């Protein structure tokens, strides 16, 4: 920390701004990292007029699988670094090596919280101090969630650098300035990192407010600065300027043997040491503001993953009033479920989440809101049906099996419940655009449907890769969620929505969430992010569970009418957890009712090809919430697999995580083959083709029924219908069918060759035409 303070003091004495450069550790190679740091330092120091000796601080990026506050350039650098084997331990080694070779400038680690948490916060901070690291900029660890981490930093004399965004309100600005110990990182614009051709016209005013509030603590401005002119302009109203994506571009465009020299030349050009003195000119604040323009095309940007700060409420709950203008809400809703939950998000999202929480609380407490919500029941198809699955019950030979028929809802699943509720809140907040993520497409269809009904612009992000097949078949079928849910994609487009295929990362639901959050943070004033599952930062898990609780509330009432008692058990499939939370929550305090969640076991928990987060995961932070996630030993998010697109997600809702740890609910995993058994049984015995997601719950419910007595009652949430999955089932039957003795192929010709029913019918239809 002292080295950072001395650096800014020196810059002030010399009458210049500090150049802060960013590079991703492990990019382009692990071995190149120390050399690049030395090259950047050499590019900004030496015997030159004092006014231009600038390179002062290095930000070394810790790569993460889900860098949702970063744009495409740094995302790609993260991916390459991880492929190269870079880790927190290797990054520490790079700093040690650079220090041994003479690196003098301060070094900040910049990155995301989950790898730090898995490493061990206290150990990480101590090891950083010993390696020569001076502080941290952690994008998704706001100070309210960083109480312990900030304490460890103070003990070791390292700096925790707060971030301030254009959206930060005055009350919160005051709080963030009060905790700054070396300097403040000012985000120049809403959105993600990346090269920008223009500057935010309001940047000068923002920096002025920060200076006035902090009593002139040094600030460094980042996000979008890439040229000498921008550096000079921004230096007029800040003590430091951060350049990152353009450094990565220079590295990417250089030959391996020329990388260090090219980076050095770039830094020299930025500080004016390349001999092009004509480019050096004084630009006052007013001049900079006249030159600056709002970005014309801000690309989808940020969302963040993080891990917990310990059980119980954090400083967020104590300082909740700092997130809103005016007085704190007199009836706040808890931000955590035990140790799970929270708001591990970029600073730019904090005020928006506070606005959403206020809007939800006001709506939830307003009888007229619920009257309006229930007025749409005929459109939604509510109340839903509850009926006894007689043949399924007979086959299992135990408890009565009842089906809560969410598949009969408008759009074919439970997703319409939450979509209607959130759109009504969005309209109350004055939002005109809706964005959403989807895996199986059901949430996307429901969102597109309600946007069409209420006249709102709709954009849906959907994963684009296929990982459910063998490697050989993967090479043939490249577009996953989009491909295997092609019917729902077409339905969304018919309803007027834009469907954005996310061809990045693992190209599944997880990456759709990443991109939706990046887009949201770029367009907060007009846009509401309609999260479809019980995931994400507070208050999203509570909002989704509240609207989906209609499932459990109706179930309780309807079974009481039919049987005069509560069910003995309720069962639901689990991906992110929306239908499960909706079914379970009304029964959470009815301890006589067992609650069984069924996750996607994929190829088996003994393999890495599954999506059973609660059964096979560990505690961490993903997409703004502390919960159970699937991750490796370094805190990087693991790839997942499920035959069901809607369950193919490496996290789960925090309330479900709390139920697991308290033993209130039990969670098991059904493999792909077992899900197919449930799919087949319900189709053949009850004449109902379920969604593959629901088929997991059917299998789990059947197994549970066998262990119970006749006369006891199980209710399974049939969350969706299976029209969308028929093609996927047909394609997978040649692989999974033999494992469960299910063969629907038709013989072709006199030989032993077979084709699937759908393939055969398509061929026959083609000949007939």
3-state secondary structure 509-545: HHHHHHHHHHHHHHCCCCEEECCCCCCCCCCHHHHHH
Q: What is the mean pLDDT of the chain?
A: 85
Give the pLDDT of residue 648. 86
**Cβ(498)–Cβ(510) below 8 Å:** no
Flag whether pLDDT at 36 surpasses 50. Answer: yes
Q: Which residue has the tokens 């930093």?
A: 153
**Cβ(449)–Cβ(614) below 8 Å:** no
**Greater model confidence, 50 or 21:** 21
Give the pLDDT of residue 428. 96
Q: Which pLDDT band holds residue 188 (cuts at 50, 70, 90)?
A: confident
Is residue 289 reached through a cis peptide bond, with omega within 30 degrees of 0 on the bond before it? no
- Catalytic hit among 66, 70, 634, 648: 70
Compute how many other C-beta atoms are within 10 angstroms of the C-beta atom of residue 660.
20
What is the per-residue pLDDT across 228-242, written as a single tens digit (0 to 9) for each? 999 999 999 999 999
**Cβ(37)–Cβ(107) below 8 Å:** yes
| Of 510-524, 647-661, 720-734, minimum mean pLDDT range | 510-524
Alpha carbon separation from 371 to 367, 421, 456, 673, 712 (Å, rounded): 6, 11, 21, 44, 35
Flag whether pLDDT at 764 surpasses 60. Answer: no
**Cβ(569)–Cβ(557) below 8 Å:** no
Flag whether pLDDT at 472 surpasses 90. Answer: no
Query: Alpha-carbon distance 67 to 511, whole Å?
Result: 11
**Cβ(117)–Cβ(148) below 8 Å:** no
Query: Alpha-carbon distance 440 to 541, whole Å?
Result: 19
Is residue 28 reached through a cis peptide bond, with omega within 30 degrees of 0 on the bond before it? yes
Is 599 a catalytic site residue?
no
Radius of gyration of the chain (CA): 27
644-670 average pLDDT score: 95
Any idea how long the chain is? 769
Flag whether pLDDT at 567 surpasses 50. Answer: yes
Q: Which two tokens stand for residue 627?
A: 């919960």
Query: Alpha-carbon distance 281 to 43, whole Å?
Result: 20
**Greater model confidence, 338 or 518:** 338
> Where in the chain are all domains bearing CATH 3.40.50.1100?
315-382+411-541, 385-403+543-728
Q: DSSP code of 441?
A: S
Start-end of H helices in 215-244: 228-235
Give the pLDDT of residue 303. 32
Query: Alpha-carbon distance 761 to 755, whole Å?
Result: 9
Flag whether pLDDT at 653 surpasses 50. Answer: yes
Angle at Cα 302 formed by Cα 290 and Cα 411, nearest 5°?
Answer: 120
What are the residues whose beta carbons fall under 8 Å from the beta carbon of 121, sequence distance 6 or more? Answer: 148, 149, 152
Give the pLDDT of residue 141. 93
Q: Which pLDDT band holds residue 530 (cuts at 50, 70, 90)?
A: very high
* % of the chain with per-residue pLDDT over 90: 67
Nearest to 308 by CA among 87, 501, 148: 148
* % of the chain with per-residue pLDDT over 70: 83
Give the pLDDT of residue 49. 37
Query: Alpha-carbon distance 477 to 637, whole Å?
Result: 24
Q: Strands 618-622 and 594-602: what pairing?
A: unpaired
- Catalytic hit among 41, 56, 59, 351: 59
Class (C level, CATH) for 2-291: alpha beta
**Cβ(545)–Cβ(342) below 8 Å:** no
Flag whether pLDDT at 766 surpasses 60. Answer: no
**Cβ(697)–Cβ(667) below 8 Å:** no
Q: Residues 395, 398, 400, 404: what is their CA dihedral angle, to the nearest 10 degrees?
A: -70
Pick 315-382+411-541's CATH classification: 3.30.70.60, 3.40.50.1100, 3.40.50.720, 1.10.30.50.
3.40.50.1100
**Greater model confidence, 160 or 523:** 160
Flag whether pLDDT at 318 surpasses 60. Answer: no
Q: Residues 565, 566, 569, 570: what is their CA dihedral angle, to the nearest 10 degrees?
A: 130
Give the pLDDT of residue 481. 52
Flag whether pLDDT at 184 surpasses 60. Answer: yes
**Cβ(679)–Cβ(711) below 8 Å:** no
Q: Which two tokens stand for residue 682?
A: 């319900």
Query: Alpha-carbon distance 594 to 585, whole Å?
Result: 12
Nearest to 502 by CA among 518, 476, 484, 482: 482
Three-class secondary structure of residue 572 per DSSP: strand
**Cβ(753)–Cβ(719) below 8 Å:** no
Give the pLDDT of residue 756. 54
Is 70 a catalytic site residue?
yes
Q: Residues 418, 423, 428, 432: what is their CA dihedral angle, to the nearest 10 degrees?
A: 160
Fold of 385-403+543-728: Rossmann fold (3.40.50)
Nearest to 488 by CA among 443, 539, 550, 455: 443
Distance of CA 361 to the CA centre of its chain: 24
> Where in the chain are all domains bearing CATH 3.20.20.70?
2-291
- Crossing angle for the helix pair 121-131 and 88-100, to the nearest 10 degrees: 20
Q: How large is the greatest C-alpha to C-alpha distance in the chain, in angstroms?
A: 91
Flag whether pLDDT at 616 surpasses 50. Answer: yes
């Amino acid at each position: 920390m002292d080295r950072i303070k001395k650096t800014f003091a020196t810059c002030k004495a010399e009458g210049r701004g500090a150049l802060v450069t960013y590079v991703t550790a492990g990019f382009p190679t692990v071995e190149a990292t120390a050399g690049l740091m030395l090259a950047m330092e050499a590019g900004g120091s030496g015997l030159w007029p004092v006014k231009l000796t600038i390179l002062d601080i290095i930000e070394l990026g810790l790569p993460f699988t889900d860098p949702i506050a970063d744009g495409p350039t740094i995302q790609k650098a993260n991916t390459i670094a991880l492929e190269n084997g870079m880790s927190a331990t290797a990054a520490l080694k790079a700093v040690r090596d650079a220090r041994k070779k003479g690196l003098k400038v301060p070094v900040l680690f910049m990155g995301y919280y989950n790898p730090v948490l898995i490493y061990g916060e206290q150990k990480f901070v101590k090891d950083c101090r010993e390696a020569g690291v001076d502080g941290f900029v952690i994008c998704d660890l706001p100070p309210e969630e960083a109480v312990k981490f900030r304490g460890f930093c103070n003990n070791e004399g390292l700096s925790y650098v707060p971030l301030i965004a254009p959206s930060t309100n005055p009350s919160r600005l005051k709080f963030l300035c009060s905790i700054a110990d070396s300097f403040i990182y000012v985000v120049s614009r809403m959105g993600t990192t990346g090269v920008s051709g223009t500057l935010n016209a309001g940047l000068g005013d923002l920096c002025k407010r920060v200076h006035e509030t902090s009593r002139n603590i040094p600030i460094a401005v980042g996000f979008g600065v890439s040229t000498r002119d921008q550096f000079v302009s921004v230096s007029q109203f800040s003590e430091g300027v951060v350049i990152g994506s353009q450094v990565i571009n220079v590295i990417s465009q250089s030959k391996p043997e020329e990388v260090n020299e090219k980076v050095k030349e770039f830094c020299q050009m930025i500080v004016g040491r390349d001999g092009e003195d004509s480019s050096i000119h004084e630009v006052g604040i007013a001049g900079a503001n006249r030159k600056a323009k709002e970005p014309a095309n801000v690309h989808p940007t940020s969302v963040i993953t993080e891990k917990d700060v310990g059980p119980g409420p954090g400083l967020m709950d104590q300082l909740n009033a700092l997130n809103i203008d005016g007085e704190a809400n007199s009836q706040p809703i808890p931000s955590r479920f035990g140790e799970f939950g929270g708001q591990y998000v970029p600073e730019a999202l904090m005020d928006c989440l506070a606005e959403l929480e206020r809007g939800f609380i006001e709506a939830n407490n307003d009888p007229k809101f619920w009257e309006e919500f229930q007025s749409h029941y005929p459109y939604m198809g509510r109340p839903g049906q509850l009926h006894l699955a007689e043949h399924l019950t007979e086959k299992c030979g135990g408890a009565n099996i009842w089906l809560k028929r969410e598949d009969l809802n408008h759009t074919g699943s439970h997703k319409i419940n939450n979509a209607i509720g959130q759109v009504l809140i969005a309209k109350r907040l004055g939002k005109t655009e809706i964005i959403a993520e989807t895996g199986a497409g059901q949430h996307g269809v429901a969102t597109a449907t309600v946007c069409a009904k209420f006249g709102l612009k709709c954009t849906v992000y959907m994963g684009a890769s296929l990982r459910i097949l063998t490697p050989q078949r993967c090479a043939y079928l490249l577009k996953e969620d989009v491909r295997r849910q092609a019917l729902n994609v077409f339905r969304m487009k018919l309803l007027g929505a834009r469907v954005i295929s996310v061809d990045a990362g693992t190209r599944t639901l997880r990456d759709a969430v990443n991109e939706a959050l990046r887009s949201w943070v770029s367009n907060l004033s007009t846009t509401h992010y309609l999260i479809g599952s019980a995931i994400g930062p507070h208050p999203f898990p509570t909002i989704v569970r509240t609207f989906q609780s209609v499932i459990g509330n109706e179930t309780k009432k309807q079974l009481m009418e039919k049987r005069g008692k509560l069910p003995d058990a309720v069962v639901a499939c689990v991906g992110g957890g929306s239908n499960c939370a909706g079914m379970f929550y009304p029964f959470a305090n009815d301890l006589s009712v067992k609650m069984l969640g069924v996750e996607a076991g994929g190829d088996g928990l003994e393999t890495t090809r599954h999506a059973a987060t609660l059964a096979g995961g560990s505690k961490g932070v993903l997409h703004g919430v502390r919960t159970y996630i699937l991750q490796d030993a370094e805190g990087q998010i693991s790839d997942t697999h499920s035959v069901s697109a809607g369950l193919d997600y490496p996290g789960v809702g925090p309330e479900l995580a709390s139920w697991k740890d308290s033993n209130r609910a039990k969670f098991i995993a059904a493999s792909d083959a077992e899900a197919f058994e449930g799919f087949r049984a319900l189709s053949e015995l009850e004449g109902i083709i379920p969604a593959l997601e629901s088929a997991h719950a059917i299998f789990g419910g059947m197994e549970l029924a066998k262990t119970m007595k006749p006369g006891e009652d199980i209710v399974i949430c049939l969350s969706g219908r299976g029209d969308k999955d028929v093609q996927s089932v047909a394609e997978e039957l040649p692989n999974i069918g033999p494992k469960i003795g299910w063969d629907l192929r038709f013989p072709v010709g006199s030989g032993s060759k077979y084709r699937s029913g759908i393939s055969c019918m398509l061929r026959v239809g083609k000949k007939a035409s």
